[in-house]
Amino acid sequence: MKSRVLYSVVILGLVLGLTACQCGGKPAVQPTTEPEKPAGCAPNCTYADMTLCYPQLGAESDWRTANTASFKETAEELGFKLVFSDAQQKQENQISAIRACIQQKVDVIALPPLVEDGFEQVLTEAKNAGIPVIIVDRSVSADPDLYASHIGSDMVLEGERAAEEFNKLMPDGGAVLELSGTTGSGAAVGRAKGFRNKLNDNIEILDSQTGNFTRAEAKPVMEAFLKKYEAGTDFQGIFIHNDDMGIGAIESLKAAGVKPGDLVIVSVDGTRGGFQAMVDGWFQADVECNPLLGPQVAEMALKLMNGQSVDREVLTNETVYYPDNAAELLPTRKY
């Protein structure tokens, strides 16, 4: 089975050579009203017929690593060809990779968009080429007619869940800092919105800065926060948009003499690192965001190849994890 699966790693230079210039200004390609055509093998296409393009946005976090592994493992198990690339957190790389997939005439593109805006033109190009697109994980702001479906988490709900934890843990109010994800990403925008939707009026968001979803970038942001504000006096809590940034922030907190439990910290993802931070007493709650989306996306991609209808939006069922059983659950975590 393994030998039937080919991974095509798209090298940026090659991609740029293959793809057309996005010359700025208005989209050169106008949306078509023609209906999508099912693949030649429809209605009996199997996974062996399928080439799925996955232009991954980067490798910024343990969540992302697990998401990539989910797609690679699913391709191996089901026997479809995966055209995988890593855009290294650069939208222009992701757009180039999508264009390379269009040129390769893949059957379906599954796109985890780095940010919400700026995909209109390339999605139009995919539509005009008759290649269905599934938006995966984060959302896009483009016209929904340009893609078949979105499969991923409800990022607004995740932010709301985090706010509810602060409301419980800080009943008398206070001030919190926010370490937010990649600016303009559906995950950061949704979590920030949800957090503000539900946070009690007696809790002030003292400051909010991005750590771009990475440990490396979160650490100096937390350091700067700690120079500006006194932990425990100026603020009592931190809402952190993902576990990797939480782990980076903990390094800065430790260096500043802050101890586990001195602050209320709520993070998002539910990675092993997040569970360890709960076991160690740093996080008081971890809002789940599930990266294991490969099987669902593959199933939908095959349906699209066979001309079957699919749901416009498929949201992942998620929960909130707590320190009381974190040690017990940690060994069972898949990511």
Binding site for ligand AHR (CB under 6 A): 60-61, 63-64, 137-138, 187, 213, 242, 244, 268-269, 289
| Closer by beta carbon to ligand AHR, 61 or else 124 | 61
Instruction: Give the Cα separation of 200 and 67 in Å (integer).
Output: 33
Instruction: Give the Cα separation of 110 and 128 in Å (integer).
Output: 16
Interior angle at CA 263, CA 211 and CA 318, nearest 5 = 65
Residue 241: CB minimum distance to ligand AHR, A = 7
Residue 88: CB minimum distance to ligand AHR, A = 13
| Closer by beta carbon to ligand AHR, 61 or else 180 | 61
| Closer by beta carbon to ligand AHR, 138 or else 303 | 138
List CB contacts of 89: < 8 A, sequence separation 6 or more: 57, 58, 60, 114, 182, 212
| Closer by beta carbon to ligand AHR, 70 or else 236 | 70
| Closer by beta carbon to ligand AHR, 80 or else 335 | 335
Count CB atoms within 10 A of the CB of residue 65: 15
Please tell me whether residue 135 adopts helix, strand or coil conformation: strand
Residue 155: CB minimum distance to ligand AHR, A = 7
Residue 288: CB minimum distance to ligand AHR, A = 10
Asked whether 128 and 145 are in contact (CB, 8 A), the reply is no
Task: Name the DSSP letter for residue 118.
Answer: S
- Which residues does residue 151 pair with via DSSP β-bridges, in sequence order? 136, 314
Give the DSSP letter string of 199-225.
S-TTEEEEEEEE-TT-HHHHHHHHHHH
Instruction: Give the Cα separation of 117 and 125 in Å (integer).
Output: 16
Written as one letter, the residue type at 146 is L
Residue 77: CB minimum distance to ligand AHR, A = 23
Residue 84: CB minimum distance to ligand AHR, A = 17
Within its chain, how far is the Cα of 217 from the centroid? 17
Q: Give me the residue whose beta carbon is nearest to ligand AHR.
A: 63
Asked whether 312 and 134 are in contact (CB, 8 A), the reply is no
Instruction: Give the Cα separation of 261 and 305 in Å (integer).
Output: 52
